[in-house]
Structure 1
Amino acid sequence: MVVNMSIGYLLLYLPLLVAVSCVIGATRHEVPRLIVEQTVRNALWITSFMLGIYVVLQVVSWLV
């Protein structure tokens, strides 16, 4: 069994990722350059975490 992810879910993920990352960056800094840097870092961290969860679910689905 393969865990499938529809492109529709990905299109819902991107605006949510941008919004969450921007809010986190804006609450920690006041300088626009630092907000953008924090936003990019948070977006990469959240995406890597979500990809890690996806990989774990994919491996578990192959074993079952």
Structure 2
Amino acid sequence: MLTSLIMVDEEVCFLSIMLINLMILFIVIYFFLLISLLNAIIITHAMLISSSVMTITRCHRIVPKKKYVDR
């Protein structure tokens, strides 16, 4: 009876440790995924901004500058 209780206790302890390890592992994986997702969003955002800036500068270059007329 006592030995079986000790065995059960050890199993429960082992299972709880495994569960805690799995939780930590999942949290770490989730954290890394979140970081990679944020990086992807930031990179695409930066690419969009740079492309829009490039198009704006290109449009400005195409449009001829108005000459200022002296009064």
Paired positions, count: 35
Corresponding position of 1:40? 23
What whole-Å deviation, never above 9, does each CA across 1:2-45 have from its counterpart, x for those lacking one? xxxxxxxxxxxxxxxxxxxxxxxxxxxx8101000001000000
Which ranges of structure 1 fall in alignment gaps of 5 or more residues?
1-29
Corresponding position of 1:51? 34
Query: TM-score, normalised on structure 1?
Result: 0.52
Query: TM-score, normalised on structure 2?
Result: 0.47
Distance 2:32 2:20 in 1: 18
Q: Which has the higher contact order (CA 8 A, sep 6+)?
A: 1
Runs of 4+ in 1 over 2 A off after TM superposition: none
- Identity of aligned pairs, percent? 9
Greater Rg by CA: 2
Which ranges of structure 2 fall in alignment gaps of 5 or more residues?
1-12, 48-71
Corresponding position of 2:45? 62
| Root-mean-square deviation (Å) | 1.4
